[in-house]
Structures are given as C-alpha cells and as structure tokens.
C-alpha cells in the first residue's frame, strides 16, 4: 500500500511515519510545507517527500500518484480541506483518514462539554473544523473521520476508546501514541468497517471535567 501523509511534520504524523516504516512494508509520501527542509528521509526505497501547500491542488494531485490512502493530520482550514478533497477526486483516490476535533456535532456532554466549549467552541478554527467535516461527509470518498479529544504524550500508553457518531463523546484526553495506534489499526483493517464513519477518540477511564494536564 502507498500512503500519502498530509501534514507530515506534525507529531502524530511523525509517529505514524515511524510505525509504518518499522512495522509494515507500506511505502509513504510525507507532504508538508517546506517538506524538504523539515523532514528527513529514513528509507529512500519507500519514501518520497513533497514540499507544498494544501491549497496547491496540482501539487497534491502529483503527490497522489498511485496512492491508495490519504491521511490528513489537520482539518483546521476548510479551504485546504476542499482542495484536498477535489485533488482526491481528480486523482482517483478514494480512501482517506482525517484527524478532526471533538465537539463538531456538539456531542460532548456534561461539565467537560462546557469546558471544551469555553476553550475552543466558536473559534474560527473550530468553525473551519465543522465545515471541513461536513465537506468530507458529503463527498463520495471512503472516509474515516477521527474526532480527537485533548492530546498529550506518554510513551507506551496506546489505550484508546471509540464512540460512534450519534453517541455522547467519552474521554477528556488521549495520547498521541494511542491515536497513532488507532490509525495503524484502521490502515491494517481488511474490511470496510471504518468506511463512512466519524469516530470519537478518547482514553478509557478519563471521563473528567477537563484533561489532567489543565
């Protein structure tokens, strides 16, 4: 499988790159702004770096040549999301895993939901996340949308909890390591059970009023 990683300089993207190179035989296309300066090739037989903007549709189409799956590390700019979706349609790539944030459906209950709204609700970036998710869900792509809770790092902690669209969100925090594990699990899933799904992603037993690090 050939996987395009959009936003390849991000923390989760870097973890995903390492997992894919160390534990699979997939080839990858890391794509980031100033990618050739910010990224380093680990295995030149399986990696091709692209430097570019997400609004550069022609560059995206070029990067999508022979790609089987696209991972989008951030959907906080809806113009970029539209460009990516349009490029995928033109390049004939159907499968996409996209990282979004919790709260795009007002699905976070209780005290944590109120805290989350105070922190990020109504911000221009949140409105872009909502519009990006809407565009993806209205596309003809085989998408998996990941609504991530508040992120932190903890080596070795790969525990994650999934909620489906329509269910109350669970989990005030989750590690980037766990999110990386989930993305790997979705990539390796042979069936279509993750197609056209929007998954809330949290950590088990963290139904608190706010993350532990706040």
Domains of the chain, by residue range, sit at: 2-202
Strands (E) in the chain, as ranges, are: 2-6, 27-32, 50-51, 69-72, 95-101, 142-148, 150-152, 161-163, 173-175, 197-202
The b/e string for 163-175 (b: 16+ C-beta within 10 A; e otherwise) is beeeeebbbbbbb
**CATH class in words for 2-202:** alpha beta
* pLDDT given for residue 47 in this prediction: 98
**pTM of this structure:** 0.98
DSSP-derived pairing of the beta strands 197-202 and 161-163: antiparallel
* pLDDT given for residue 63 in this prediction: 99
The answer to whether 176 and 11 are in contact (CB under 8 A) is: yes
CA distance 103 to 116: 8
Question: Comparing C-alpha atoms, which of 17, 191, 199, 6 is closest to residue 93?
Answer: 6
97 falls in which pLDDT band (50, 70, 90)?
A: very high
Structure tokens at 137: 């869900």
Within 51-175, residue ranges assigned H as helices are 57-63, 78-91, 110-120, 124-137
The pLDDT tens digits of the residues spanning 154-201 come to 999 999 999 999 999 999 999 999 999 999 999 999 999 999 999 999
Rg over alpha carbons for the chain, rounded to the nearest Å, is: 17
CA distance 68 to 28: 10
pLDDT mean over 13-40: 97
The pLDDT tens digits of the residues spanning 113-130 come to 999 999 999 899 999 999
Q: How far is CA 135 from the centre of its chain?
A: 15
């Amino acid at each position: 499988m050939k996987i395009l990683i959009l936003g390849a300089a991000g923390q989760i993207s870097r973890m995903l790159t390492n997992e894919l190179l160390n534990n699979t035989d997939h080839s990858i296309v890391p794509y980031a702004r100033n990618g050739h300066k910010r990224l380093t090739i680990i295995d030149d037989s399986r990696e091709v770096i692209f430097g570019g903007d997400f609004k550069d549709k022609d560059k995206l189409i070029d990067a999508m040549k022979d790609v089987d799956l696209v991972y989008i590390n951030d959907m906080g700019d809806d113009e970029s999301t539209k460009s990516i979706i349009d490029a995928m349609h033109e390049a004939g790539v159907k499968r996409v895993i996209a990282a979004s944030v919790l709260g795009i459906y007002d699905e976070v209950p209780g005290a944590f939901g109120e805290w989350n709204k105070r922190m990020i609700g109504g911000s221009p970036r949140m409105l872009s996340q909502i519009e990006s998710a809407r565009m993806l869900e209205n596309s003809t792509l085989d998408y998996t949308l990941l609504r991530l809770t508040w992120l932190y790092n903890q080596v070795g902690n790969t525990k994650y909890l999934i909620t489906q669209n329509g269910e109350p969100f669970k989990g005030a925090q989750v590690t980037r390591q766990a999110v990386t594990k989930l993305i790997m699990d979705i990539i390796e899933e042979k069936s279509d059970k993750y197609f056209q799904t929007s998954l809330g992603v949290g950590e088990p037993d963290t139904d608190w009023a706010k993350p532990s690090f706040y």
